[in-house]
Structure 1
Amino acid sequence: MKVTERPLYRLVQERKLPAFKVGNSWRFLREDLARWISVQSREASTPDREHN
């Protein structure tokens, strides 16, 4: 994903990024990440309706 650990942990803690913990390690399912990226991409490309 080309990001450092800190922003990832923040997103996980805020429950904005799908992940789960196994022991002391965080795990990310490839399918969940692909879905999350797709949603983020759509939201970023959708014009802000509040300013219309």
Structure 2
Amino acid sequence: MIYGVQKLASAVISPIKRKIGGAIFVWLFLLLDAGQLFHNLLPDSHSFFWR
């Protein structure tokens, strides 16, 4: 009985984990991409932020 519940729980949790992991990966990618874009648009931006 417990084994069946564990199996069901893992079957439900693993796609959720995969979705969350994918979402985090996409967010990191977008943030890095945006950072590169800002750096290209504003070559002076790093001195602006660190002042």
- Quick check: TM above 0.5? no
Q: TM-score, normalised by structure 2?
A: 0.40
Q: TM-score, normalised by structure 1?
A: 0.39
Specify which structure has the higher proportion of helix. Answer: 2
Which has the larger Rg?
Answer: 2
